[in-house]
Amino acid sequence: MKKLNGNLNIFNLAVFISGRGSNLNSIIKHSLKKKSNYQVKLVISNNKNAKGLTFAKKKGIKNLVIDFTKSKQLIKKIILELNKKDIKLICLAGFMKILPGYFFKLYNGKIINIHPSLLPKYKGLRTHERVILNKEKFTGCTIHYVNRYLDSGKIILQKKIKVKKIDTPETIKKKVLKLEHKMYPEAIEKVLINL
Ligand code: GAR
Protein backbone atom coordinates (compact mmCIF):
# COMPACT_ATOMS: atom_id res chain seq x y z
CA MET A 1 0.00 0.00 0.00
CA LYS A 2 1.27 3.48 -0.71
CA LYS A 3 -0.06 6.85 0.35
CA LEU A 4 -0.94 9.58 -2.11
CA ASN A 5 -1.73 13.21 -1.38
CA GLY A 6 -1.71 12.43 2.32
CA ASN A 7 -5.33 11.25 2.29
CA LEU A 8 -5.87 8.62 -0.41
CA ASN A 9 -4.67 5.08 0.27
CA ILE A 10 -3.89 3.02 -2.79
CA PHE A 11 -4.07 -0.75 -2.21
CA ASN A 12 -2.36 -3.43 -4.28
CA LEU A 13 -4.57 -6.08 -5.84
CA ALA A 14 -4.04 -9.51 -7.39
CA VAL A 15 -6.59 -10.85 -9.87
CA PHE A 16 -6.92 -14.59 -10.59
CA ILE A 17 -8.42 -15.57 -13.95
CA SER A 18 -8.97 -18.66 -16.11
CA GLY A 19 -10.29 -17.35 -19.41
CA ARG A 20 -11.63 -14.31 -21.25
CA GLY A 21 -10.82 -11.79 -18.52
CA SER A 22 -13.47 -9.17 -19.29
CA ASN A 23 -13.89 -8.52 -15.56
CA LEU A 24 -10.13 -8.20 -15.19
CA ASN A 25 -10.23 -5.62 -17.97
CA SER A 26 -12.94 -3.59 -16.25
CA ILE A 27 -11.08 -3.80 -12.92
CA ILE A 28 -7.89 -2.53 -14.59
CA LYS A 29 -9.77 0.25 -16.43
CA HIS A 30 -11.35 1.43 -13.20
CA SER A 31 -7.97 1.40 -11.42
CA LEU A 32 -6.71 3.98 -13.91
CA LYS A 33 -9.33 6.52 -12.85
CA LYS A 34 -8.14 9.29 -10.57
CA LYS A 35 -10.52 8.50 -7.73
CA SER A 36 -9.68 4.76 -7.65
CA ASN A 37 -8.22 3.40 -4.40
CA TYR A 38 -6.45 0.37 -5.88
CA GLN A 39 -3.96 -0.74 -8.49
CA VAL A 40 -3.67 -4.19 -10.09
CA LYS A 41 -0.16 -5.41 -9.39
CA LEU A 42 -0.43 -9.10 -10.21
CA VAL A 43 -2.51 -11.35 -12.48
CA ILE A 44 -2.44 -15.11 -12.00
CA SER A 45 -3.96 -17.65 -14.36
CA ASN A 46 -4.21 -21.41 -14.12
CA ASN A 47 -4.54 -21.48 -17.91
CA LYS A 48 -1.69 -20.43 -20.17
CA ASN A 49 -4.14 -19.78 -23.00
CA ALA A 50 -6.38 -17.45 -20.99
CA LYS A 51 -7.28 -14.56 -23.27
CA GLY A 52 -7.42 -12.25 -20.26
CA LEU A 53 -3.64 -12.45 -19.84
CA THR A 54 -3.34 -10.04 -22.78
CA PHE A 55 -5.03 -7.27 -20.72
CA ALA A 56 -2.31 -7.62 -18.08
CA LYS A 57 0.46 -7.76 -20.67
CA LYS A 58 -0.80 -4.64 -22.47
CA LYS A 59 -0.68 -2.67 -19.24
CA GLY A 60 2.67 -4.09 -18.17
CA ILE A 61 1.16 -5.83 -15.14
CA LYS A 62 3.11 -8.79 -13.83
CA ASN A 63 1.33 -11.98 -14.90
CA LEU A 64 1.99 -15.59 -14.06
CA VAL A 65 0.61 -18.91 -15.22
CA ILE A 66 0.55 -21.37 -12.34
CA ASP A 67 -0.20 -25.06 -12.48
CA PHE A 68 -2.62 -25.42 -9.58
CA THR A 69 -2.33 -29.20 -9.58
CA LYS A 70 1.21 -29.00 -8.21
CA SER A 71 0.29 -27.84 -4.76
CA LYS A 72 3.73 -27.45 -3.14
CA GLN A 73 5.01 -25.33 -5.99
CA LEU A 74 1.79 -23.37 -5.79
CA ILE A 75 2.21 -22.40 -2.14
CA LYS A 76 5.74 -21.19 -2.62
CA LYS A 77 5.31 -19.35 -5.89
CA ILE A 78 2.02 -17.62 -5.17
CA ILE A 79 2.83 -16.60 -1.62
CA LEU A 80 6.20 -15.28 -2.69
CA GLU A 81 4.64 -13.15 -5.41
CA LEU A 82 1.76 -11.92 -3.22
CA ASN A 83 4.26 -10.85 -0.57
CA LYS A 84 6.64 -9.30 -3.06
CA LYS A 85 3.87 -7.13 -4.46
CA ASP A 86 2.40 -6.34 -1.03
CA ILE A 87 -1.04 -7.60 -2.17
CA LYS A 88 -3.90 -6.61 0.14
CA LEU A 89 -6.79 -8.24 -1.73
CA ILE A 90 -7.15 -11.19 -4.12
CA CYS A 91 -10.01 -10.94 -6.63
CA LEU A 92 -11.20 -14.07 -8.39
CA ALA A 93 -12.61 -13.07 -11.77
CA GLY A 94 -13.79 -16.05 -13.77
CA PHE A 95 -11.25 -18.19 -11.94
CA MET A 96 -12.52 -21.73 -12.43
CA LYS A 97 -10.35 -23.60 -9.95
CA ILE A 98 -11.11 -24.45 -6.34
CA LEU A 99 -8.29 -23.04 -4.22
CA PRO A 100 -6.75 -25.35 -1.61
CA GLY A 101 -7.89 -25.04 2.03
CA TYR A 102 -4.61 -23.65 3.37
CA PHE A 103 -5.00 -20.73 1.03
CA PHE A 104 -8.21 -19.57 2.71
CA LYS A 105 -6.55 -19.81 6.10
CA LEU A 106 -3.61 -17.70 4.97
CA TYR A 107 -5.72 -15.07 3.27
CA ASN A 108 -8.81 -15.18 5.43
CA GLY A 109 -11.10 -12.26 4.54
CA LYS A 110 -8.75 -11.19 1.74
CA ILE A 111 -10.19 -13.19 -1.17
CA ILE A 112 -13.35 -12.17 -3.02
CA ASN A 113 -15.20 -13.66 -5.99
CA ILE A 114 -17.78 -12.66 -8.56
CA HIS A 115 -20.62 -15.01 -9.45
CA PRO A 116 -23.27 -14.46 -12.14
CA SER A 117 -26.39 -15.21 -10.08
CA LEU A 118 -28.32 -14.01 -7.07
CA LEU A 119 -26.53 -16.18 -4.51
CA PRO A 120 -27.38 -18.32 -2.62
CA LYS A 121 -29.37 -19.29 -5.71
CA TYR A 122 -27.59 -21.02 -8.59
CA LYS A 123 -24.17 -21.78 -7.19
CA GLY A 124 -21.75 -23.49 -9.56
CA LEU A 125 -21.93 -23.65 -13.33
CA ARG A 126 -24.63 -23.14 -16.02
CA THR A 127 -26.35 -20.46 -13.95
CA HIS A 128 -28.14 -18.69 -16.78
CA GLU A 129 -29.53 -21.90 -18.29
CA ARG A 130 -30.97 -22.87 -14.92
CA VAL A 131 -32.44 -19.39 -14.38
CA ILE A 132 -34.29 -19.62 -17.71
CA LEU A 133 -35.34 -23.23 -17.15
CA ASN A 134 -36.86 -22.34 -13.78
CA LYS A 135 -38.63 -19.29 -15.22
CA GLU A 136 -37.07 -16.96 -12.68
CA LYS A 137 -38.38 -13.38 -12.70
CA PHE A 138 -35.05 -11.93 -11.62
CA THR A 139 -31.39 -12.81 -11.86
CA GLY A 140 -28.20 -10.81 -11.26
CA CYS A 141 -24.71 -10.85 -9.93
CA THR A 142 -23.09 -11.33 -6.53
CA ILE A 143 -19.68 -10.41 -5.18
CA HIS A 144 -18.80 -12.31 -2.04
CA TYR A 145 -15.95 -13.29 0.24
CA VAL A 146 -14.49 -16.69 -0.57
CA ASN A 147 -14.53 -19.48 1.97
CA ARG A 148 -13.91 -23.18 1.51
CA TYR A 149 -17.47 -23.86 0.37
CA LEU A 150 -18.36 -23.14 -3.25
CA ASP A 151 -19.99 -19.71 -3.82
CA SER A 152 -21.00 -19.52 -0.15
CA GLY A 153 -19.03 -16.75 1.57
CA LYS A 154 -20.50 -13.57 3.02
CA ILE A 155 -22.10 -11.34 0.40
CA ILE A 156 -20.46 -7.95 -0.26
CA LEU A 157 -22.62 -6.62 -3.08
CA GLN A 158 -25.55 -7.99 -5.04
CA LYS A 159 -27.63 -6.42 -7.80
CA LYS A 160 -30.54 -7.81 -9.74
CA ILE A 161 -32.03 -7.43 -13.20
CA LYS A 162 -35.39 -8.51 -14.57
CA VAL A 163 -35.65 -11.65 -16.68
CA LYS A 164 -38.00 -10.99 -19.59
CA LYS A 165 -40.10 -13.63 -21.32
CA ILE A 166 -38.04 -13.25 -24.49
CA ASP A 167 -34.71 -13.70 -22.67
CA THR A 168 -32.47 -16.68 -23.42
CA PRO A 169 -29.37 -17.86 -21.52
CA GLU A 170 -27.30 -15.90 -24.04
CA THR A 171 -29.16 -12.58 -23.64
CA ILE A 172 -29.12 -12.96 -19.86
CA LYS A 173 -25.40 -13.72 -19.93
CA LYS A 174 -24.75 -10.47 -21.82
CA LYS A 175 -26.89 -8.37 -19.49
CA VAL A 176 -25.40 -9.89 -16.34
CA LEU A 177 -21.86 -9.47 -17.65
CA LYS A 178 -22.49 -5.78 -18.27
CA LEU A 179 -23.68 -5.50 -14.69
CA GLU A 180 -20.60 -7.42 -13.46
CA HIS A 181 -18.24 -4.95 -15.11
CA LYS A 182 -19.80 -2.08 -13.17
CA MET A 183 -20.19 -3.93 -9.90
CA TYR A 184 -16.81 -5.56 -9.38
CA PRO A 185 -14.78 -2.33 -9.15
CA GLU A 186 -17.47 -0.89 -6.87
CA ALA A 187 -17.30 -3.92 -4.56
CA ILE A 188 -13.49 -3.85 -4.51
CA GLU A 189 -13.48 -0.21 -3.39
CA LYS A 190 -16.06 -1.01 -0.73
CA VAL A 191 -13.94 -3.86 0.67
CA LEU A 192 -10.73 -1.82 0.61
CA ILE A 193 -12.29 1.11 2.43
CA ASN A 194 -13.14 -1.27 5.27
CA LEU A 195 -9.75 -3.05 5.43
C1 GAR B 1 -18.14 -14.14 -15.34
O2 GAR B 1 -19.47 -14.13 -15.79
C3 GAR B 1 -18.08 -14.55 -13.89
O4 GAR B 1 -19.16 -14.09 -13.13
C5 GAR B 1 -18.11 -16.05 -13.99
O6 GAR B 1 -17.29 -16.34 -15.09
C7 GAR B 1 -17.35 -15.26 -16.02
C8 GAR B 1 -15.95 -14.83 -16.33
O9 GAR B 1 -15.92 -13.87 -17.35
N10 GAR B 1 -17.65 -16.67 -12.78
C11 GAR B 1 -18.16 -17.80 -12.31
O12 GAR B 1 -19.07 -18.39 -12.85
C13 GAR B 1 -17.51 -18.27 -11.03
N14 GAR B 1 -18.33 -19.23 -10.37
P15 GAR B 1 -14.63 -13.03 -17.65
O16 GAR B 1 -13.46 -14.03 -17.76
O17 GAR B 1 -14.91 -12.38 -18.98
O18 GAR B 1 -14.42 -12.06 -16.54
Cα of 122 from ligand 1 centre, angstroms: 14
| Nearest atom within ligand 1 for CA of residue 21 | 16
**Contact indicator for 65, 46 with CB cutoff of 8 Å:** yes
Structural domain tally of the chain? 1
Q: What is the CATH number of the domain that holds 90?
A: 3.40.50.170
- Cβ(185) to ligand 1 under 6 A? no
Cα of 59 from ligand 1 centre, angstroms: 21
Q: What is the pLDDT of residues 82-111, one digit of tens each?
A: 999 999 999 999 999 888 887 888 899 999
Intervals of the chain under pLDDT 50: 1-3, 5
Q: Of the candidates 98, 179, 103, which has an alpha carbon nearest to the alpha carbon of residue 138?
A: 179
H or E element in which residue 87 lies: strand 87-92
Is residue 181 annotated as a catalytic residue, yes or no? no
**Residue 148: per-residue pLDDT:** 87
**Residue 4: per-residue pLDDT:** 53
Q: DSSP code of 115?
A: E
Q: For the chain, what percentages of helix, strand and coil (3-state, to nearest 5) are there?
A: 35, 25, 40
Identify the domain containing residue 51 by its residue range. Answer: 2-193
